[in-house]
Amino acid sequence: MRVRSSKVADYCVRDVVTDEREAPAVTCARRMHDAHVGSLVVVEQRAGLNVPVGMITDRDIAIEVVAFGLDPEGTVAGDLMPPDLALAREDDDLFEVLATMRAYGVRRLPVVDAAGALAGIVSADDLWEVLADELDGLVRVMKAEQSRERVTRTAGESKME
C-alpha cells in the first residue's frame, strides 16, 4: 500500500457512533455494543452541526459506573466524559495526531472539519496499520535491492574468472 497522504482525513473512520450529553450510560453501552466499537463521541448541535464535546469508552462505563454500582440509567454520558476533549483536525498530519494521543493519553480522537463539526474518528490502531504498511513496503524495497546487488555481484565475479 502506498500512503495517499499524511493527513488524518484520509485514514479516519467516517461512520462514528454518537450520542448526546444527557444519554444514559446504559444507552451508550448498548450503542457501542450494537456497533461493535469501544467508544462513543458525545456531540451537541450547534448551528445545525454535530460538534464533539466529549468522548466516553466502554472502559469508562465499566470503571466509573459498574465498578461502583451506580445506576446506569441515572448516570449520563456528560457525567463520564473527561473535562478536556482531545481532537484531531482533518488536515492534521499523522504524526501530529500520534503526538496528541500521547499527550492526552488516549487511543482514539474525534476528527473535526474546518467548521468544527464531527467528521470522523481515528484510532491508534488505524495509524499503526498505515505505518506498518509503509514499513513493510520499505523492507520489500530493501530486500529487492539486496537481491539485485547479489545477482549483479555474482555476475561480475563470473566474468572475472
pLDDT tens for each residue of 127-139: 877 777 767 667 7
Is 140 part of any domain? no
Full domain range(s) for residue 107: 8-124
> Which residues does residue 112 pair with via DSSP β-bridges, in sequence order?
89, 118
What's the whole-number mean pLDDT along residues 86-93? 96
- The answer to whether residue 79 sits within a structural domain is yes
- Classify residue 143: in a domain, yes or no: no
Specify if 3 maps to a domain. Answer: no
DSSP letter for 64, please. Answer: I
CATH of the domain at 51: 3.10.580.10
Is the overall model pTM greater than 0.75, yes or no?
yes
Within-domain flag for 130: no
Residue 1 lies in a domain: no
pLDDT score of 1:
43
Q: What is the pLDDT of residue 111?
A: 98
Count of domains observed in the chain? 1
Share of the chain above pLDDT 70, in %: 90
Distance CA 76, CA 37 (A): 19
What pLDDT is stored for residue 50 in this prediction? 97
Is 152 part of a structural domain of the chain?
no
Residue 156's pLDDT band (cuts 50, 70, 90): low
Beta strand spans in 2-137 (E): 18-20, 39-46, 49-57, 88-89, 108-112, 118-123
